[in-house]
Amino acid sequence: MNSKIKIWVDEAGRWPWLWPVVASAFCLNNKNLPDKDFLNELNDSKKLTKRKREELFEKLIDLSAWENPKVFFWVWVVDNFVIDKINIRQANKEAMRRALVELLRKIKKKDIDSVVIDGRDNYEFEELDKNPIYIVGWDWKVMEIWAASIIAKVFRDKLIKTYSSIYPDFSLEKHQWYGTQKHKEYLNDKSKITWIHRLTYKPVKKVLEKKEKMLLHICCWPDATIPIIELKGKYDLLCFWYDPNIQPKKEYNKRLKAFKKVCKLEKVKFEIWEYDDKEFFKKVKWLESEPEKGKRCTVCYDMRLTRTNNKAIELWIKKWSTVLTISPHKNIEKIFKIWKKLSQKWEVDFLAIDFKKNSWFNKSIEYTKKYNIYRQNYCWCLFNKKK
């Protein structure tokens, strides 16, 4: 009988989107082999039930604990933080290397015939006198690979059980959080990413890089040009056109056309609300003689902001703002007061930006000249025009 030892190495958890990778190095003691009944129980870990894997795992521990062990093995874990730092291939190598290093403390290097790894990575380990042998597709043939696989998978499953107690609502133990449809549906925003996720994995990284959605109310397109440019880099922006107080309808159509033109130039999405000027006139009845920035304007602000707030709720967008604040003719204190009233009622955040700062109004004028964007030469309000 060959007294030389052949070490077999396998891993578990290489492909999931979260938690560590686990490697197991395993070998039989050729001078004190386990009985045949036990060896006959071994099988490819994927063909075993969870209960049977755990049972064999416990038996392997017992066989390794004797004064003259029948098997030798070691397990090493490399966590998701290291995976993100050095990539999964190198992390997998490190888990295998450390498992081998610890196993070599139990057996003499001169007694080793070879190290065999299930896979095709072709790692080299300076701790070994010769390079490992790499095999592909033998995991259904070799009982030592079965044993290494059982050890790695059960150890990984025990980690999963611990994580599942931390995140009881995630059902981690049911599908190990590979790229399943359930996992994809779960990862719908940054808040769902946990401390055990592998942040460099593309699906997770994509969520991290995903911009927060924002709804931007626009009622006068020239004023909106620079706010759009400034905000679209930070947010997944949706422009919301709503102005019930542009007269006549011909003028409204001109501005709407300009709005669409700039949306196309800046490649931003947009939605258009109906032209409900009748509702506006109904709400400002008996306020026709009010001066600009008076009660009539407050009603007008309230219509626009309430409509935008409701649209944000409808679209499940948690943040919105308005370009009303860029105009030197608007009362920003009243705008913010209306926002506070809305925010107390609804769980939607208003991004309170004074767009008059940083000369954005002047920059908007330059933009409209550069791209030949229509810019009105009178106030949008019919009542102010009459004065």
Domains of the chain and CATH, by start: 5-175 (3.30.420.10), 212-385 (3.40.50.620)
Which amino acid belongs to residue 103?
A: L
Tokens of 50: 């969870």
The owner of tokens 């999405």 is: 269
CB atoms within 10 A of CB 57: 20
pLDDT confidence band for 227 (50 / 70 / 90): confident
Q: Name the least confident of 30-39, 67-76, 223-232, 282-291.
A: 282-291
Give the dihedral sign, CA 271/277/279/281. Answer: positive
Compute the distance between CA of residue 347 and CA of residue 102 in angstroms, rounded to an integer: 55
Which amino acid belongs to residue 297?
A: C
- Helix boundaries (H) for the chain: 36-41, 50-64, 80-86, 88-103, 143-166, 172-175, 181-186, 202-209, 221-232, 249-266, 277-283, 295-314, 332-345, 360-370, 382-385
pLDDT confidence band for 1 (50 / 70 / 90): very low
What mean pLDDT comes out for the span 17-34?
90
Q: Would you call the peptide bond into 248 cis, given omega within 30 degrees of 0 as the criterion?
A: yes
- Which tens digit of pLDDT belongs to each residue from 108-153? 888 888 898 887 888 989 888 888 888 877 655 788 888 999 999 9
Q: What is the pTM of this model?
A: 0.62
CA distances to 85, 127, 149, 233, 241 from 101, in Å: 22, 7, 18, 49, 66
- Which tens digit of pLDDT belongs to each residue from 143-196? 888 899 999 999 998 888 888 888 777 666 665 566 677 777 777 777 778 888
- Report the DSSP pairing between strands 319-322 and 269-272: unpaired
Task: Tell me the CB-side half-sphere exposure of residue 167, using CA atoms within 13 A.
Answer: 19
Compute the distance between CA of residue 145 and CA of residue 258 in angstroms, rounded to an integer: 68
- Which tens digit of pLDDT belongs to each residue from 232-278? 888 989 999 998 887 788 888 888 888 888 888 888 899 998 887 78
